[in-house]
Structure 1
Amino acid sequence: MSGIELTVNGRPISGEAEPRMHLGDFLRERLHLTATHLRCEQGVCGACTLLIDGEPARSCITYAVSCRGAEVMTLEGLETDPVIEALRAAFTAEHGLQCGFCTPGMLVTARDIVLRLPDADAARVRKELSGNLCRCTGYAGIVRAICRVLAERQAGAQQARADAGSRPSGLGPVGSRIPLSPRAAETIQRPAAARDQADAISVADEDLGLGGRQANLETALSFVVARPIDEVWAVLDDIERVARCMPGAKLAGPPVGGRLEGTVAVKVGPIATSFSGRARILRDEAGRSGVLYGAGRDRLSGSGARAEVSYALVPDGTGTRVDLSVRALLAGPLAQFGRSGIVQDLMARLAGEFARRLEHSLATGEEAPADQAPLNPAALLVSVIMARVRKMLGRFRFRRTP
């Protein structure tokens, strides 16, 4: 058993949970908050959707112990939320529920749609609901209900509560004290003491890296560049040149004092993101090593990322081996796609592509264009899967029978 302290519906909670107990069971069995429904327990059906640090998340695939210090909000805690009140009335008027099993998760998702996409039409609403399954209604009434609330808000029938500013959320797998996205403009009702404490927290300019938070992605990898160590070390000090070798990366301007701002464009199938963020690089000249502390956020999806990347250069014959250690915390909707094995393979492929570009730059003096196309891991993912299939098939040995 592991100790756990978190805030649930504005109330501090302390307890114990098995390391593999997911948040949904913790809420239902230990706190008796049964509005969070569990069905597939694979993160597919959306019935268990709730808010962690203000962002929608699947409680059936989130470990309870990973939510230490997080702020969790279930449907019970959203009873007086103005958007939920409007949605409940619209679901009733438009016959948006039958058996009701999917309704709690559907309401939390609908709230996210209303706040994040105020101009969404019926087609976009249906697309956004693709992660929430309903076996009864055929979705028609649900879509009408959400569109009804959107129309009411557009017409000014419902006054949005003003945001108190871009306040940081708590710790946890979703949010990670990254400022809330615009869709959280209507703050959740909480006790005044809890609101005052949260509003007193500010994100300092140097709030980069994990800052003591628990990473949900850790990996180590190495690559070799066929150039002398002093030459590689000197090039790594040229941040703009290094950025041009990184697929999808683009600096917003020249770095100042080891600090930089920029974007990393990522495209996975129909999902296109552009993380904007800041980073700081510290270098140890004597040890030929360094650490990058970074934090970024994608405004469209509300996903965030924090990372600490340590690197060290080691002579390797006539070349140089670069050892990398990556500790990252993915937050928001995109974190739901994380799978450690696949992610590690993809990072290894990206490191290989970076090494190839870096070596080419060192050998020829030519630099990659500054306006990199968005990183498309889809092709890399296919190659990773094919490599795994070939490796699996290679384990089989067929013998000729005598």
Structure 2
Amino acid sequence: MTTIALQVNRRAVEISAEPRTSLADFVRDHLDLTGTHLGCEHGVCGACTVLLDGVPARSCITYAAACAGADVTTIEGLDEDEVTTELRAAFTREHALQCGYCTPGMLVSARDLVLRLPDADERRIRVGLSGNLCRCTGYVGIVRAVQSVIEARRARNIAPLGDGGRTVLGPAGSGRAAFNGDEPRQVLLAKAPASGSAAPVGIPDFTPATILNQRFALPHAPAKVFAMFGDIAGIASCLPGVSLTAPPKPERVEGQISVRLGPIATSFEGAARVERDPATLSGRIVGIGTDQRSHSATQGEIRYHLLPLDDGANTAVELSIGYTLTGMLAQVGRPGLVRDLAKRLVAEFAKNLDRHMAGGPVDQVAAAELGGWSIVSEIVRARLARMFGRVFTGKRDAE
């Protein structure tokens, strides 16, 4: 197995896969991005077309390992793309799809043509789409749809990009991927650790899909709490289900977190970076992780800010927890359930942290995997209490 680190739809991903895994199988089987379709699996039909560093490429004949460090965009990552939105509307208007199987790859290729072609020349459009086969429509509606989008954009004085954003020639995925120096991708892969683990990569910033705010107090001075937050190993020992897998450094902390919620057990392995600002007694932890069992990936961000209480004798810890979840777990990770779970985790963390700062031994405050049934029962009790509280409150109001 080889750990492959790359960006998929603007999100950092690190997942272990066989070196022979194609990029199409990687995004479909490991990330559940099934909008990328497999047809011929010989690079002929174009159903599997994705963007690699902004350039259309056949994902069925591209090894995922060859794309390490690249920026991959599947059809799901183009939901808010301006050109793709126009193309979708045009495909509907011009009856350019029937069964829809070829449509994801067709849209990716058509988007490239819209960006590059100076005018809506039918012949150039047909040549540009010749690598995408459609068994239903006969191409007339497809060509007409692409023509209409190009004409509309040029009428709005949107100039074409002659190279479609291509800045360098090279293997698929090498267009804008950031590497150290000018070494070709093959050399960098050859330097990967023999154990199959990934070479350290940067932890990127991201925009969380969901943000939860939590607050708790500690009976310790802010300066002491801030110093404790700088002890990465100590903080990890206080976090339920967290264990470090390598000596921690602020720029990269490797570890895993295990959580069991009823019948669902997850174990996310990944890495994080730690930022601290002593002037404002605040900091940030940004991490990425994957759960192999469910083929899910997550990005997380914890921002903390320490405020003095009781003339500086105690400390209020304000937390902002942001995350983005993809894969199978995203289908069951409802915000309400995650919010209840986060509240429980923060409460356990606050209790462990207080005990640790008071001199308690680390092996007693370190929390192992959370038991799910206790969490579920607590969530059910809390929700029943809220529900009956609303009922009784409503009755009193009515009286």
TM-score under structure 2 normalisation?
0.53
Correspondent of 1:361 among 356, 379, 387: 356
Partner of 1:224: 217
Partner of 2:27: 54
1:73 aligns with 2:35: yes
CA deviation string 1:220-266 (max 9, x = no partner): 11111122212211111111111110011001132124421111112
Matches within 5 A, 1:283-362: 283-317=276-310, 318-362=313-357
User: Could you say if the C-alpha distance between residues 164 and 347 of structure 1 is closer, same or farther in structure 2, counting changes exceeding 3 Å?
Assistant: closer
In 1, the alpha carbon distance for the partners of 2:378 and 2:75 equals: 29
Partner of 1:67: none
Task: Name stretches of at least 5 consecutive residues in structure 2 with no aligned partner.
Answer: 1-7, 10-23, 46-59, 79-104, 110-130, 132-163, 180-199
Equivalenced residues, count: 252
CA deviation string 1:259-293 (max 9, x = no partner): 21111112233333221111110100111000111
Task: Name stretches of at least 5 consecutive residues in structure 1 with no aligned partner.
Answer: 1-5, 8-50, 60-70, 86-159, 177-187
CA contact 1:53–1:174 (8 Å) conserved in 2: no
CA deviation string 1:47-100 (max 9, x = no partner): xxxx998236999xxxxxxxxxxx7636xx422238xx9xxxxxxxxxxxxxxx
1:233 aligns with 2:133: no
Matches within 5 A, 1:3-402: 54-55=27-28, 73=35, 77-81=37-41, 163-165=63-65, 167=67, 170=72, 197-198=172-173, 200=175, 202=177, 205-209=200-204, 211=205, 213-317=206-310, 318-369=313-364, 372-397=367-392
CA contact 1:224–1:322 (8 Å) conserved in 2: yes
User: Could you say if the C-alpha distance between residues 53 and 214 of structure 1 is closer, same or farther in structure 2, counting changes exceeding 3 Å?
Assistant: farther
CA contact 1:175–1:304 (8 Å) conserved in 2: no
In 2, the alpha carbon distance for the partners of 1:370 and 1:253 equals: 20
Larger radius of gyration: 2
User: Could you say if the C-alpha distance between residues 271 and 236 of structure 1 is closer, same or farther in structure 2, counting changes exceeding 3 Å?
Assistant: same
CA contact 1:308–1:328 (8 Å) conserved in 2: yes
CA contact 2:28–2:34 (8 Å) conserved in 1: no
User: Could you say if the C-alpha distance between residues 355 and 332 of structure 1 is closer, same or farther in structure 2, counting changes exceeding 3 Å?
Assistant: same
In 1, the alpha carbon distance for the partners of 2:331 and 2:317 equals: 30
In 2, the alpha carbon distance for the partners of 1:340 and 1:164 equals: 32
In 2, the alpha carbon distance for the partners of 1:175 and 1:382 equals: 37
Instruction: Report the more deviating stretch, 300-309 or 283-292.
Output: 300-309
SS of residue matched to 1:247? coil
CA contact 1:52–1:174 (8 Å) conserved in 2: no
Partner of 2:102: none
SS of residue matched to 1:341? helix
SS of residue matched to 2:65? coil
Instruction: Report the more deviating stretch, 284-293 or 191-200.
Output: 191-200
In 2, the alpha carbon distance for the partners of 1:206 and 1:359 equals: 33
User: Could you say if the C-alpha distance between residues 175 and 358 of structure 1 is closer, same or farther in structure 2, counting changes exceeding 3 Å?
Assistant: farther
CA contact 1:173–1:331 (8 Å) conserved in 2: no
In 2, the alpha carbon distance for the partners of 1:310 and 1:231 equals: 18
Which residue type is aligned with residue 54 of structure 1? V
Which residue type is aligned with residue 316 of structure 1? L
In 2, the alpha carbon distance for the partners of 1:394 and 1:285 equals: 43
SS of residue matched to 1:365? coil
User: Could you say if the C-alpha distance between residues 202 and 376 of structure 1 is closer, same or farther in structure 2, counting changes exceeding 3 Å?
Assistant: farther
CA contact 2:306–2:315 (8 Å) conserved in 1: yes
CA contact 1:292–1:308 (8 Å) conserved in 2: yes
TM-score under structure 1 normalisation?
0.53
In 1, the alpha carbon distance for the partners of 2:276 and 2:340 equals: 27
Instruction: Report the more deviating stretch, 312-321 or 252-261.
Output: 252-261
* RMSD, aligned CA: 4.2
CA contact 1:307–1:326 (8 Å) conserved in 2: yes
CA contact 1:173–1:329 (8 Å) conserved in 2: no
